[in-house]
Amino acid sequence: MKHDSFFIERAIELARKGFPRATPNPLVGCVLAKNGKAVAEGFHKTFGGHHAEIVALRKAGKEARGATAFINLEPCSYWGKTPPCVSALIKAGIRSVVAAMPDPNPKVRGRGLKSLQKAGISVRVGVLKEKALELNLPFWTQMTKNRPYIVLKTAMTLDGKTTDYQDKSQWITSRQSRKILWKTRSLFDAVLVGIKTVHKDNPELTSHGYGRNPARVVLDPRLTINPNARILNTKAARTIVVTSAKNDKKFEALSRKDVEILTVGATGASFDLKEIMRLLSIKSIQTLLVEGGSVTHGHFVQNSLADAILWFIAPKILGGAAAKSPVEGKGLALNNALAVKNITLLNQNPEQLFSLPLDGGQGLRPYLRPRSSAERGGGQGGGDIILRGSLREDGLKWPLLEI
């Protein structure tokens, strides 16, 4: 219909306002309109609070009767922390509902739309579906794949090295890039590393005051983590240690530090990563930033457990056969390589990295001139290149991952 895209676009815009307080619920916005004009609007503000449809209906009052509800997600049809929105829409006398996409939650999945139709309400589905799906990719992933939306992050040189030949990595990228990473962490429910990263770098894995602190997840098959590690002694964030070891003394010591211990079966030093992701999803972790080293990244790639990449690339060359790359392990055959789609440069435009003046001499030949450090210094990333890309077949990316 004429106004469908306009009002669904507004519903998506409203829905974004619920991040991150509405999670693990989906981000939902609702616009009630009559004769092409908005009557009321609302969004799901906090988990456990009123859903977007209820907020809009309460604002509209009697004006809701005969209106069309534009929603970026199918209305819920079951009792959870709040009553079903479908019942409220029917009771308010809504004439028609335009939903961008069906709800992937197994408790809903079309039931809400069918209930509306049975009540005589006109239903249209699929307006700006792709854009609506992008916004709720974490929720969609959790509901359909029983795991979080997973982003692999690395910091490397232009020649693809994450360490030098001496296995040193501090610091590959600039301080500006590290600040961007701290802010990025605040967008995620959890950050994951392997035990080697904890032993080597002794990180806190917090946002360092740039936003909310994510939960910290450590993969530690043999439970060798040092009780004095910063990650165990920074109470600003929840910490989960995943292990297959049975060590009652170590369990007791970690429990005194308010650390959650997740015991999962393993073969040698290798976990069942898919089972771990399922368990994290049950713990309401919808978004996961994997900051592990090359071995941890290798496990995720080998198991096809990644939805996107976030690559910090420093303008340096290290070389060396002993220097590590971002993804190790067995590797993939060339015809099975993961395709990175929809790649975007987050912090620079190409012309910010290089100038392209014209030679004033004969032929006016263009040439590339590297920008000076003074020219590069003002940009985000301190001269580093920050790329993100999708590993999904459809190339969709979570739009809330911004710097």
Residues with Cβ within 8 Å of residue 280, at least 6 apart in sequence: 147, 148, 190, 217, 240, 288
Beta-bridge mates of residue 153: 310
| Cα distance between residue 34 and residue 69, in whole Å | 9
- Strand 308-314 relative to strand 385-390, pairing: antiparallel
* Active-site residue, from 41, 53, 74, 134: 53
Residues with Cβ within 8 Å of residue 9, at least 6 apart in sequence: 128, 131
User: Within 10 Å of residue 43's Cβ, how many Cβ atoms?
Assistant: 25
| Cα distance between residue 298 and residue 313, in whole Å | 19
| Cα distance between residue 198 and residue 292, in whole Å | 9
Query: 63 phi and psi, to 5 degrees?
Result: -65, -15
Whether 351 sits among the annotated catalytic residues: the reply is no
* Cβ–Cβ under 8 Å, residues 228 and 207: no
Among 279, 238, 276, 242, smallest CA distance to 258 is for: 238
* Cβ–Cβ under 8 Å, residues 384 and 312: yes
Catalytic residues: 53
